[in-house]
A and B are shown apart, each in its own frame.
Chain A
Amino acid sequence: DGGITQSPKYLFRKEGQNVTLSCEQNLNHDAMYWYRQDPGQGLRLIYYSQIVNDFQKGDIAEGYSVSREKKESFPLTVTSAQKNPTAFYLCASNMDRYNSPLHFGNGTRLTVT
């Protein structure tokens, strides 16, 4: 079955540590995205990538970094520079064409103490 796999599901880290969240898709989608969701708020875009080896900052990119070395993979690193990293992180993908909806992975819940 095609889909988007995020790992791990839960992640706990100490403040000051970098952490990398994994996102892999086998839908052959061109574009991939990282969103952050905080309680009671809408999803906010961190980074997105429309093709391999290219990515763009979203609305809240500060303190995050990404890479897109393969079409299937779009890992997100939460660095120690991110002031409030505790959140629910969602990876998504879609075809790069008109009216293509986003498909989401099952998310990673990151807690930093």
Chain B
Amino acid sequence: RKEVEQDPGPFNVPEGATVAFNCTYSNSASQSFFWYRQDCRKEPKLLMSVYSSGNEDGRFTAQLNRASQYISLLIRDSKLSDSATYLCVVNWDNYGQNFVFGPGTRLSVLP
């Protein structure tokens, strides 16, 4: 069974903190990697794709380590609005049936 695993959480952090999420995947042939955020009782929304060289979007930085088969997401200067569940998503071979979702890690940013 191909798996995607994430930090179990929940993470409770104060506003302004830096928080890091990790995700590991079992299939070394995986092709595409994404982070989504999901608010309570809402749909997942794409936060960022993860590229081999790593990428940054404002306060968010994503890293990919293919050798160790893990992906990370770093959030700097946490805001209250960052409170959500963060989903790691891996596509094994770029075909539709092979998107695999992690169970998610819940983040609560506290005032």
Q: Give residues of chain A (17-52) contacting chain B, Cβ–Cβ below 8 Å.
A: 31, 33, 40-43, 45, 48, 50
Which residues of chain A have C-beta atoms less than 8 A from B94's C-beta? 98-99
Interface residues on B, range: 20 to 34
Which residues of chain A have C-beta atoms less than 8 A from B104's C-beta? 42
Which residues of chain B have C-beta atoms less than 8 A from A33's C-beta? 96, 99
Q: Give residues of chain B (75-111) contacting chain A, Cβ–Cβ below 8 Å.
A: 87, 89, 94, 96-97, 99-104
Given contacts A41-B103, A94-B96, contact A105 B89 (CB under 8 A): no
Q: Give residues of chain B (1-29) contacting chain A, Cβ–Cβ below 8 Å.
A: 4
User: Chain B's interface: helix, strand, loop or mixed, by majority?
Assistant: strand
Which residues of chain B have C-beta atoms less than 8 A from A42's C-beta? 4, 87, 100-104
A16 at interface (Cβ–Cβ under 8 A)? no
The answer for the CA separation of A98 and B93 in the assembled complex, in Å, is 9
Which residues of chain B have C-beta atoms less than 8 A from A90's C-beta? 43-44
A103 at interface (Cβ–Cβ under 8 A)? yes
A104 at interface (Cβ–Cβ under 8 A)? yes
**Cβ contact within 8 Å between B45 and A101:** no
Closest chain B residue to A107 by CB distance?
B43
The answer for the CA separation of A31 and B100 in the assembled complex, in Å, is 16
Using a CB–CB cutoff of 8 Å, the interface residues on chain A facing chain B are 31, 33, 40-43, 45, 48, 50, 56, 58, 88, 90, 94, 96, 98-107, 109
Question: When A and B form their complex, which 4 residue pairs have the shortest distance between CB atoms, in order from nearest?
Answer: A42-B101, A104-B43, A43-B101, A48-B96
